[in-house]
Structure 1
Amino acid sequence: MTNPHSALPNRPQPEPSKVLNVGVSMLTLVPGGMGGSETYARELTRQLAASRTVKATCYVNDGARGFSEGTDEIVVPGLTGGSSTIQRLITLAKGIIKRKSILGLMRPMDVFHVPFTVPLPKPAKEAPFVQTLLDVQHLDLPELFGLADKLYRKIFYEKTARDADAIITISDFAKTSIVNHLGIDPAKIFTAHLGVNAEEFIPNLGQRGNFIMYPARGWKHKNHATLFEAMKLLAVSNPELRLVLTGGALDTLTDVPDNVEVRGLVPLPELRELYRTAACMVFPSLYEGFGLPPLEAMASGCPVASSTAGSLPEIVGEAAVLFDPEDPEAIASAIRTAISRTEELQTLGLQQVQKFTWERCAEVHEQAYRYAFNLRTRNSSTA
């Protein structure tokens, strides 16, 4: 994977001798309730702690104290975050009211970064501003969002993206969507693929169980309903095969077939054991800005059957069997094929995982920080 920014002309060039003081504001963080975005932020802080070109200070709310492993952390009192739209709005309202006092707690910074998309507090006008925007799913699949969520994202995602000096996103698919929907200059959008700590997974290249797995929350775009139709087909052709579901909000699922076991949220060791022993991991999602589970499965030696939606073909490459996520027969066929190609997919999967590291992810962040800083510096010098 090459960095598409390296060949772009007219980019402000870095100043290697300048260590950038970066303020990382994570005041909307809800530990344990933000899925992949929380993993991303945690790993980013670990990498920034080891950086020689960035000095990061992380700002968290009361409920996220201790989150910023290895970096300097300042707790902002009076904010708790929240996962629902209403809770988010309450947190934002408090942040707006307390903006002046929050900014007063913050150290002088060369760059202000919000890894959770929403700028809280709104940065000082003179601060170069970097936003992480994981995706614009509300514009790609508007039918899945209510009016309140669309309005929230229009204000805090879209307007913020247009105001930012640089944007970090997590796939070329997401970057293209941002450019197409928001009309933003692609030169200021940096693709930082997420990483996998491959050493934390122990691949099993031996005997595997007689079940498949799908780790995903019970959100509509995760497409459990079509997967259930595929499982009904497999009940006829492969009656011994069952499906294990893990993840939150699975109690909302209906019409669950007899060959499907709903476990819900499980401890991390149990999830990793499922990766190590499943005959296949199926991932029928209708939309992914990135999609970490297929890579985690590959790191565990688990064959993967993956949807062709969103960023998934970009992420899994040739190391998975791809299928149309809206076709139950295609899903069932891909599962059977992935299991039959176990040894081949294991080899390809372990190779694919090596392309995605948190070190590379952090390097792109540092490029984005430097770009935003130098852009502001150049603009102020020519004003």
Structure 2
Amino acid sequence: MRIARTMKGKRVVLDGYNLLMPRGTGIATYARTLALSLGALGAEVGVLAPVQFRTSRKWPDLNEVKFHEALPAPDIRPGMRWARNLSDFLGSFGSFRPEPLKLRGVASGSGEALLPDNIELLLAHRLVERAEARFSMLGRDLNVRLPNAPSVFHSTYHLPIRIHGAANIYTIHDLIPLRLPGTTRDNKRYTYRLLKHVTARADHIVTVSEHSRRDIMELLDVPPERVTNTYQAVAMPADVLAREADHVAEVVRRIFDLEYQEYFLFFGAIEPKKNVLKLINAYVSSGAESPLVIVGSEAWMADAEMERLRDPSFESFHILGTEIRRRHRVRHIKYLPRNLLLYLIQGARAVVFPSLYEGFGLPVLEAMMLGTPVITSKTSSLEEVAGEAALLVDPRDASSISSAIRVMDNDADLRRHLSQLGRIQAQKFSEHSYRERLDELYRRVA
């Protein structure tokens, strides 16, 4: 179904804080989907891009060259951190004017691949660092002036930044630092102050589930009319959805040495809220013969999970004809390009995602879109996203997770049923539905 280009003539600027992360989190996926959806609605989309170099008005081509470098983190040597913070604080005063950049093909690099076509770039030297320094010391936003003020500035993260002359809206994905304080390294006092500040000053707040919306209203005292849930969507290429089972089976066998629908899969960052350690222990106690594949890089506070993944008891030997090959019951893959990850999802017996808390839960939606059965938590937004199309568990109870793995492993009819229900449930979060919700939101705030 084709949606009208209802935002034609409107200009929207997004922050690039997560959008330009090559291996970004779910927020990076959210930002890219938002940019593509706004473009499909006819809006002119710009990105306020934080960079670590000083831009030049005299030599714009040099700006493009520098942009296409790896955008490295700033070099903060021991003893220099306070000096840099003071420099960022002083730099937050006066007129903060980003430098427009039109990509002309002078150089190429990873940054260009992360951006939708025909997007406007506005390079801002140490944007996030200056904004955070200003808020930390004064409790105020970094005010940004653009040559032509957009209709809307949509920050995809709660950053203390405002664009002069625009409607300023902010997406708050979840309140995990407040709800599960032991699972993050955030400065809780700073985070709480910032969230209260952003919700008080914003023209509107956006979130991604009804569960997160309730949290925002209750914990941050935001009136219902000032916060809107748009849910999320995933852009799934048509050629991926059309893949034949035989082709998927051949790829997962050749690249991963795995048999089609003979392994369980978890994918996501390895951090406390993802509950990976309990998942591993539950899987081991389930007695399942199919391997458990964990795809994700170590994030923070993951020492126990990484130590468990190195457990030598996960290694065993199997004789295939005259060949002896080493197999691992639990396998860890640190990173996969998205295309290969999608093959692995399609080929899985089931995706197991027993997270303690999610603002939305993109892995659940992606698995359902691809027809892969799902085991997930009956907590936070995950039950809301999965509906009746998944096997729901108590993520704090290893026996609940273990039992679900055992049931899924042994019941082919259940797997077929959940595969069918999952595809139907995923339609509630289609790109078309997401764009309709965005259109209604922007009509109210812009």
Matched, 1:38 2:28: yes
Aligned mates of 1:229, 1:93 — CA distance in 2: 42
SS of 2:429 mapped into structure 1: coil
Equivalent residue runs for 1:123-142 within 5 Å: 123-124=163-164, 126-142=165-181
Partner residue, 1:117: 158
Aligned alpha-carbon RMSD (Å): 3.0
Q: Is the 1:29–1:116 Cα contact (8 Å) retained in structure 2?
A: no
Aligned mates of 2:167, 2:155 — CA distance in 1: 12
Q: How far 1:128 moved relative to its partner? A: 2.3
- Candidates 59, 66, 71, aligned match of 2:48: 59
- Candidates 192, 201, 217, aligned match of 2:269: 217
Q: Give the stretch that moved more between structures: 174-183 or 19-28.
A: 19-28
Q: How far 1:100 moved relative to its partner? A: 11
Fraction of identical pairs, as percent: 28
Matched, 1:356 2:396: no
The CA deviation string for residues 208-254 of structure 1, in whole angstroms up to 9 with x for no partner, is 332101002111011111112212212xx33x222100011177422
Question: Which segments of 5 or more consecutive residues in structure 2 lack a partner in the other structure?
Answer: 1-5, 52-70, 72-109, 250-259, 315-328
Aligned mates of 2:142, 2:169 — CA distance in 1: 21
TM-score for the superposition, normalised by structure 2: 0.69
Aligned mates of 1:100, 1:184 — CA distance in 2: 19
Compared CA separation, residues 297 and 100, structure 1 to 2 (3 A) = closer
Q: Is the 1:76–1:102 Cα contact (8 Å) retained in structure 2?
A: no
Compared CA separation, residues 245 and 232, structure 1 to 2 (3 A) = same
SS of 2:339 mapped into structure 1: helix
SS of 2:308 mapped into structure 1: coil
Larger radius of gyration: 2
The CA deviation string for residues 118-155 of structure 1, in whole angstroms up to 9 with x for no partner, is 143x332x532211111111121122234x53133223
Partner residue, 2:294: 245
Q: Give the stretch that moved more between structures: 281-290 or 255-264.
A: 255-264
Equivalent residue runs for 1:47-196 within 5 Å: 47-52=37-42, 54-62=43-51, 63=71, 65-66=111-112, 67-79=114-126, 89=129, 92-93=132-133, 103-120=144-161, 122-124=162-164, 126-146=165-185, 148-196=186-234
Matched, 1:369 2:409: no
- The residue type paired with residue 219 of structure 1 is E
Compared CA separation, residues 201 and 92, structure 1 to 2 (3 A) = farther
Q: How far 1:47 moved relative to its partner? A: 1.4
Q: How far 1:38 moved relative to its partner? A: 0.6
The CA deviation string for residues 16-62 of structure 1, in whole angstroms up to 9 with x for no partner, is 8995433323356541243111111111111111214x443332234
Aligned mates of 2:284, 2:367 — CA distance in 1: 24
Compared CA separation, residues 173 and 17, structure 1 to 2 (3 A) = closer
Q: Is the 1:133–1:161 Cα contact (8 Å) retained in structure 2?
A: no
Aligned mates of 2:34, 2:118 — CA distance in 1: 10
Q: Give the stretch that moved more between structures: 266-275 or 251-260.
A: 251-260
Matched, 1:344 2:410: no
Compared CA separation, residues 338 and 197, structure 1 to 2 (3 A) = farther
The CA deviation string for residues 57-112 of structure 1, in whole angstroms up to 9 with x for no partner, is 33223448544413531231423x7xxxxxx6467449999x99983434222322
Aligned mates of 2:149, 2:397 — CA distance in 1: 54
Compared CA separation, residues 351 and 105, structure 1 to 2 (3 A) = same
Aligned mates of 2:415, 2:7 — CA distance in 1: 49
* Runs of 4+ with >6 A deviation: 94-97, 99-102, 203-207
Q: Is the 2:14–2:153 Cα contact (8 Å) retained in structure 1?
A: yes
Q: Is the 1:305–1:323 Cα contact (8 Å) retained in structure 2?
A: yes
Q: Is the 1:204–1:277 Cα contact (8 Å) retained in structure 2?
A: no
- Candidates 8, 13, 16, aligned match of 1:26: 16
Equivalent residue runs for 1:197-276 within 5 Å: 197-198=235-236, 199=238, 200-202=240-242, 208-234=260-286, 237-238=287-288, 240-249=289-298, 252=303, 253-256=306-309, 258=314, 259-276=329-346
Aligned mates of 2:168, 2:435 — CA distance in 1: 17
Equivalent residue runs for 1:298-309 within 5 Å: 298-309=368-379
Aligned mates of 1:89, 1:204 — CA distance in 2: 47
- The residue type paired with residue 141 of structure 1 is L
Aligned mates of 2:415, 2:10 — CA distance in 1: 47
Q: How far 1:369 moved relative to its partner? A: 2.8
